[in-house]
Amino acid sequence: MRRQFKPEHTKPRDFDLFWQETLSKLEKVDPDPIIAGVEHSPNHPELVLEYVEFVSLDDVRITGLLTHWKDDLPRPLVVYSHGYGSQCMPQWSWVSFGLNCFGVDIRGFGRSHDALREYSHWGWVLTGIQAPETSVIRGAVCDYIQGARVAEQLLPNPTTHHTYQGVSFAGALALKSASVLGSPDLLAVGVPTFGWTEGRYIFVKSGSGAQINHYLANHPERLDDVMLVMRYFDPVNFADGVHCPALIGLGLKDDVVPAKTVYAIANHLVGKKEIMEFPVSHTDLPEERLWDRFEQYWLTLTIEGISEGFGSKPLHFD
């Protein structure tokens, strides 16, 4: 059965130490947030969008989008990011339900494009692939974590609880941040990428995994080294550090993030979880509209809280 698919851990021996030292280094970085721009919602006069610049690991300046209510009422906070090669969009619709949101443009992408000082011509994911300490993915996780901290610092109202949200590239960042920083109240991720390093090498046909495979086709002598580095960023190896309720979405047909790689992540989570299965993901097919239910569900969980029956059965949507 698909849901019992659980490859063995390939966690490096110093994995936990590596991330402890990374977090310790990040904690020494003053985020020094600056409001670089402000927009107001034409439909909700009490909603505001602030473009926030802040400092992350390696002293690079990252841009985030803080969309929030201009009041002092306690509200949930949703931290999110974007897809591979994309950028964050303001989430006015989420905030209109009574939430505050902070979106992070990761170094090398969107408004944070210039924060990546060197960019591999093989693709973003290969930048700094020589070692885990230099990998761009290390900085990306820190960007997400630092963004969550900055949002708390800047919000005018207290936060009742936290949801880390993301789809694909952002889903992986949300999960890894939840594990490294300490679990939020809810993790809601769809098709998190980078899962099961060895499996991606076999199954992935597009996206960041295809970039890695293309690089290795030209540098086969680096296979073992690249696989080792990527294990420091494999969500499978972070999953047992996520103790909060987790909502996982996947597409049964997906050439970018194959279902097997998502099951490999989900089946190592230690807290309560639900898996929402959809026919497809990362496609242009009309069945993609079913993913609206994933968004509706995690928003409901964020607003109303986790029910006692959460985690009982996987959910199928045909």
Per-residue pLDDT band at 1 (split at 50, 70, 90) = very low
Of 282, 181, 173, 297, which Cα lies nearest the Cα of 247? 297
84 is in an annotated binding site: yes
The torsion of the CA quartet 235, 239, 241, 245, rounded to 10 degrees, works out to: 120
Per-residue pLDDT band at 6 (split at 50, 70, 90) = very low
| pLDDT digits 0-9 by tens, 245-294 | 999 999 999 988 989 999 999 999 999 999 999 999 999 999 999 999 99
DSSP code per residue over 220-286: GGGHHHHHHHHHTT-HHHHGGG--S-EEEEEEEE-SSS-HHHHHHHHTT--S-EEEEEEEESSS-SG
Structure confidence at residue 284 (pLDDT)? 93
Domains of the chain: 2-31+73-81+122-305 (3.40.50.1820)
What's the rounded Cα separation, in Å, for the pair 92 and 143?
22
Q: Which 3 state secondary structure label does DSSP give 300?
A: helix
| pLDDT digits 0-9 by tens, 13-65 | 999 999 999 999 999 999 999 999 999 988 888 999 999 999 999 999 999 99
What's the rounded Cα separation, in Å, for the pair 183 and 163?
9
| pLDDT digits 0-9 by tens, 64-82 | 999 999 998 999 999 999 9
Q: What is the pTM of this model?
A: 0.93
| pLDDT digits 0-9 by tens, 91-150 | 999 999 999 999 999 999 999 999 998 889 999 999 999 999 999 999 999 999 999 999
